[in-house]
Amino acid sequence: MMVPKNQIRLLILSNMLCWALLLVFLLSGFVNGDEGKVLNVERINIVNEDGTTVLAIANKQRIAAPRMDGKEYPVGMIEREHVAGMILFNEQGDEMGGLVFNSNELPDGRKYGTGHLSFDRYRDNQVINLEHTENIRGAVKSGLTIYDRSGNGSFGKNLDLIHEFKYDDVSDDRKKEIIREINELKKNGDLGQERLFLGSDNEVPQLTLKDESGTERLRLFIDSANEARIHFFDEDGELTHQFPESR
């Protein structure tokens, strides 16, 4: 059957129009006026060839959920729903650090904010943490924190216990048992300890060192009188020596 030439022209024209509309639609997501090319999205996943996400960049509504030992946990379990940023994952798809941030001012004038860059040990929590925090009560802390972590898999167990406590329908007795189990993990050092902080805590610049139990043993700081001081503490955290001596 012969197709009239005018129908052929109409078909060609309609196809060209569809392609033009599609091109405009695609470019509209990348071009912002004459300023250059901008990609406007709520989340970007960078994946390996097998589809495993290794980097997720997102706003706070689509921030990546924590993952450990192949399990994904609710974003709200660690209060990550308040921040945007990027989360890093290893070859198994488990979280291994990230960069998150947010700040705001409440109607009453109080301010809060956080900026957090961290790297995690394999199958464990953060070991390096560069962070600024400001809470609504006015406390401000900024600096570098170093942690020792066992890497023995207890962190995943800790996440499971927290998830059970917050989201499962468990009895009050079971909740008390969960708290005891978490405290036991902390007591045994399975969840690691903070060992070093270098930064400013409420306008006091300082270097603090802690022992393997997490007890502060040395603090080098500038006091409110602008005098450099060194404090030494015993295993119970009690001050034993200081230089210079207090007047």
Strand ranges across the sheet with 95-105: 43-47, 53-58, 84-89, 95-105, 111-120, 126-134, 140-148, 193-201, 204-210, 216-222, 228-233, 239-243
The backbone torsions φ and ψ at residue 120, rounded to the nearest 5 degrees and listed phi first, read: -105, 150
**Whole-angstrom distance, CA of residue 81 vs CA of residue 60:** 6
Q: For the whole model, what pTM was predicted?
A: 0.80
Average pLDDT over residues 217-236: 96
Residue keyed to tokens 């450099």:
228
Q: Per the structure block, which two tokens stand in for 237? A: 């955290």
- What does the mean pLDDT of the chain come to? 89
pLDDT at 33 over 60: no
Domain regions of the chain by residue span: 1-36
Choose from 17-26, 29-38, 211-220 the range with maximum mean pLDDT. Answer: 211-220
Q: What number is the average pLDDT over the span 83-99?
A: 95
pLDDT digits (tens, 9 = 90+) for 126-185: 999 999 999 988 899 999 999 999 999 999 999 999 999 999 999 999 999 999 999 999
Q: Quick one: pLDDT band at residue 24, thresholds 50, 70, 90?
A: low
Residue 246 has a pLDDT of 75
Percent of the chain residues past pLDDT 90, beyond the cut: 78
Burial label for 134, CB within 10 Å (0-12, 13-18, 19+), is middle
> pLDDT digit string (tens) for 174-197?
999 999 999 999 999 999 999 999
